[in-house]
Amino acid sequence: MRVLPFSHGELTSRITGIGGPQAAPEQIFSLLNKYKISPTRQRIKIAQVLLTCHTHKSADQILEEVNRERAYVSKATVYNTLNLFVKKGLVKEVVIDPSKVFYDSNTSQHHHFYNEENGELHDVDLDKITVAKLPEPPEGTEVQCVEVVVRVRKRNPAG
Ligand SMILES: [Zn+2]
Number of domains forming the structure of the chain: 2
52 and 89 co-located in one domain: yes
Beta strands in 45-129 (DSSP E): 56-58, 92-97, 100-104, 111-115, 121-124
**Would residue 68 count as lying in a domain?**
yes
**Would residue 159 count as lying in a domain?**
no
What pLDDT is stored for residue 52 in this prediction?
80
Amino acid in position 118: N
Query: Average pLDDT for residues 127-133, to the nearest whole number?
Result: 93
58 and 12 co-located in one domain: yes
14 strand-pairing partners: none
**Would residue 2 count as lying in a domain?**
no
51 and 100 co-located in one domain: yes
Q: Is the pLDDT of residue 17 over 60?
A: no
How many A from CA of 106 to the centre of ligand 1? 6
How many A from CA of 158 to the centre of ligand 1? 32
* Model confidence band, residue 71 (pLDDT cutoffs 50, 70, 90): confident
Query: Average pLDDT for residues 59-78, to the nearest whole number?
Result: 91
**Would residue 145 count as lying in a domain?**
yes
What pLDDT is stored for residue 21 in this prediction?
55
What pLDDT is stored for residue 60 in this prediction?
93
How many A from CA of 108 to the centre of ligand 1? 8
* Model confidence band, residue 24 (pLDDT cutoffs 50, 70, 90): confident
The domain of 94 spans 8-104
What pLDDT is stored for residue 159 in this prediction?
61
Query: Average pLDDT for residues 94-120, to the nearest whole number?
Result: 93
29 and 100 co-located in one domain: yes
**Would residue 157 count as lying in a domain?**
no
Answer with the residue of higher pLDDT: 43 or 22: 43
**What residues contact 92, with CB distance under 8 A and at least 6 apart?**
86, 103, 104, 105, 106, 107
How many A from CA of 137 to the centre of ligand 1? 25
Answer with the residue of higher pLDDT: 83 or 70: 83
134 and 99 co-located in one domain: no
28 and 97 co-located in one domain: yes
How many A from CA of 84 to the centre of ligand 1? 18
